[in-house]
Amino acid sequence: MATNNVLIFGATGALGGAIHARFVKADWNIYCAVRSPSTLAHSFLLPITKDHLPAEITDVEFDAVIFAQGTNTNDNVMNGQTQELLRVFEGNVVAITEATAGLMHHDKIKQGARIVILSSLWELSTRQDKMSYTVSKAAVGGLVRSMAVDLGRAKGILVNGILPGIVKTPMAEKLLTPSQLANVENATPVGRLVTPEDVGNSAYLLASESNTAITGQSISVDNAFTISRVI
């Protein structure tokens, strides 16, 4: 019988769904925080704040919390709009800080638990027309480090970020052209895009009891794309 509890934000997305599937395989009790009604078992509507705790998790404490939701866009400093920058920052950074503050306030995260935040390879680098997204993901790196220190001191919680490379998802196919996707594959030593399952396995590794001392890290999951230069 499952004894570990995990809370997943964004379980209805491609990456969140793969993470959900990995925890199902490991027989965890899974709770899903969603923005709109979902057919997923144990799903409930956001928000989670200091002032509001959904009734569905009143009697639950979590061994792991996964933030797999996010907001994406394409823009640059010349054509970008301030409101778009703020919208992306709100979705990728503020949503995490508010939910974490709420969970801590209501004592929903166990002593020694693990938190995993999905970021992006664009946390450490960038590409053309990716200003708002890059800015928000760079902030996620700072958030991971800050939370690792503060939550570690408060309750021994381990906090890490995952930086997926270009993942083979409908979103990637929407935001990148076929030639751009081919360029990524050709520049990746393994010769393939990262899959959602790769991300799910990585999130599980960091969120499970196998992780005993990794914290405050932003870990690339990209088949060595970021560090490789094919010449």
What do you get for the CA distance between the two ends of the chain, in Å?
52
- Give burial (CB, 10 Å; 0-12/13-18/19+) of 111: exposed
Q: Does residue 226 lie in a domain region? A: no
pLDDT per residue as tens, the chain (231 positions): 568 999 999 999 999 999 999 999 999 999 999 999 999 999 999 999 999 999 999 999 999 999 999 999 999 999 999 999 999 999 999 999 999 999 999 999 999 999 999 999 999 999 999 999 999 999 999 999 999 999 999 999 999 999 999 999 988 888 789 999 999 999 999 999 999 999 999 999 999 999 999 999 999 999 999 999 877
Annotate 11-41 with b (16+ C-beta within 10 A) or e (fewer).
Answer: bbbbbbbbbbbbbeeeebbbbbbbeeeeebe
| Number of domain units in the chain | 1
Cα–Cα distance measured from residue 53 to residue 195, given in angstroms and rounded to the nearest whole number: 34
Cα–Cα distance measured from residue 18 to residue 21, given in angstroms and rounded to the nearest whole number: 5
Q: Does residue 96 lie in a domain region? A: yes
Q: Does residue 93 lie in a domain region? A: yes
Q: Does residue 130 lie in a domain region? A: yes
Sheet harboring 5-9: ordered strands across?
Answer: 43-45, 29-34, 5-9, 62-67, 109-118, 158-164, 218-221
Q: Does residue 230 lie in a domain region? A: no
pLDDT at residue number 109:
99
Active site residue 204: no
Q: Does residue 231 lie in a domain region? A: no
pLDDT at residue number 230:
73
Q: Does residue 227 lie in a domain region? A: no
pTM (two decimals) = 0.95
**What CATH code is carried by the domain that includes residue 14?**
3.40.50.720
- Selecting among 122, 133, 204, 225, the annotated active-site residue is 133
Provide the residue type at 203 as one letter: A
92's enclosing H/E stretch is: none
pLDDT at residue number 175:
79
Q: Give pLDDT tens digits for 91-118.
A: 999 999 999 999 999 999 999 999 999 9
Q: Containing domain of residue 109, as a range?
A: 5-220
Q: Does residue 120 lie in a domain region? A: yes
